[in-house]
Amino acid sequence: MLLHFTKMHGLGNDFMVIDLVTQRARLRDEQVRQLADRRFGIGFDQLLIVEPPRDPDMDFRYRIFNADGSEVENCGNGARCFARFVRDQRLTHKHEIHVETAGGPLTLLVEDDGQVTVDMGVPRFAPQALPFEANEDLLRHELEVDGERVEVGAVSMGNPHVVLRVDDVERAPVERLGPAIEHHPRFPRRVNVGFMEVVSPHEIRLRVHERGSGETLACGTGACAAVACGIRQGLLESPVTVHLRGGDLRIEWPAEEASLRMTGPAERVFDGRVALA
């Protein structure tokens, strides 16, 4: 069968987006991995699926699959692309779009300038929210990784994140520590790993190793996690500009009991059709 899709990106974090509201298909893990291959497939960091909602109060169901075929709870850059996609495809004319995800409900707001703001909900620091095998909710946790001890903040943004503070993000050991922490036994569902350089209380530089995909040019939930941890640790103040390799995001978290909001771009690259075996 031929399946219509759209290739999109949010700050270089790239996605294949499929409408399963007007089309019917069921993708197996091996098909996702084949489509994700940048030489033999379409190539992407994540596959985004648009489905009808199960909750009548929601507009759509939003599903996310990593390049290795694993389904995950949330993707902030993908959420912005999702919002633009459903409007471009005329699946909705709303500016405020409510979607259900495996990590909980999200509200997406398409701004007049084309930027998209995502209400990411309240960050959750309880270890069981990630999940993370730790006895208590601390500002910083210590992990033994690759023969050394590292200090991290841990938070769930609908998906699990740890954040390490580094002096120079360009020299950070992302390739070495990223996979080691992702698969650390204290994270039974694996974890995304952010490397944060604090420039000022309102500005950081960030690189993120995403579970199941490796380092990406940008990670929306990773940016939210870094800012949430930084504010909670007294290093940052809202709003914060996050410089990622693919571009910048604006993160606002005015109070611990408030929702965190992320604003950034979403770009369509091309439309296509692919034959599924």
pLDDT at 276: 83
Fold match between domain 2-111+265-275 and domain 127-258: yes
Phi, psi of 153 (to 5 degrees): -95, 150
This prediction's pTM: 0.92
pLDDT, tens digit (0-9, with 9 covering 90-100), for 113-154: 989 999 999 999 999 999 999 988 889 999 999 889 999 999
The annotated binding site for substrate is made up of: 13, 46, 66, 76-77, 159, 192, 210-211, 220-221
The annotated binding site is made up of: 13, 46, 66, 76-77, 159, 192, 210-211, 220-221
Q: How far apart are CA 15 and CA 269, in angstroms?
A: 10
Q: Is 229 a catalytic residue?
A: no
Q: Is 81 a catalytic residue?
A: no
pLDDT, tens digit (0-9, with 9 covering 90-100), for 83-99: 999 999 999 999 999 99
* Domain range summary for the chain, segments of one domain joined by +: 2-111+265-275, 127-258
SS3 (DSSP) at 243: strand
pLDDT at 138: 86
CATH of domain 2-111+265-275: 3.10.310.10
User: How many other C-beta atoms are found inside a 10 Å radius of the C-beta of residue 154?
Assistant: 27
Among 81, 219, 224, 229, the one annotated catalytic: 219
SS3 (DSSP) at 238: coil
| Burial degree of 27 (CB within 10 A; 0-12, 13-18, 19+) | middle
Q: Using the predicted structure, report yes or no on whether residue 1 has a pLDDT greater than 80.
A: no
Look up tokens 């993370």; give the residue: 132
pLDDT, tens digit (0-9, with 9 covering 90-100), for 171-219: 999 999 999 999 999 999 999 999 999 999 999 999 999 998 999 999 9
Treating both helix axes as pointing N-terminal to C-terminal, what angle do 220-232 and 76-88 enclose, rounded to 10 degrees? 140
Using DSSP, how many helices (H) and how many strands (E) does the chain show? 4, 18
At position 20, the amino acid (one-letter code) is L
CATH of domain 127-258: 3.10.310.10
**Alpha carbon of 15 to those of 37, 155, 174, 239: distances in Å?**
12, 24, 22, 27
Q: How far apart are CA 165 and CA 174, in angstroms?
A: 12
Look up tokens 């504010």; give the residue: 231
Q: How far apart are CA 83 and CA 173, in angstroms?
A: 34
| Burial degree of 8 (CB within 10 A; 0-12, 13-18, 19+) | buried
Among 75, 81, 224, 229, the one annotated catalytic: 75
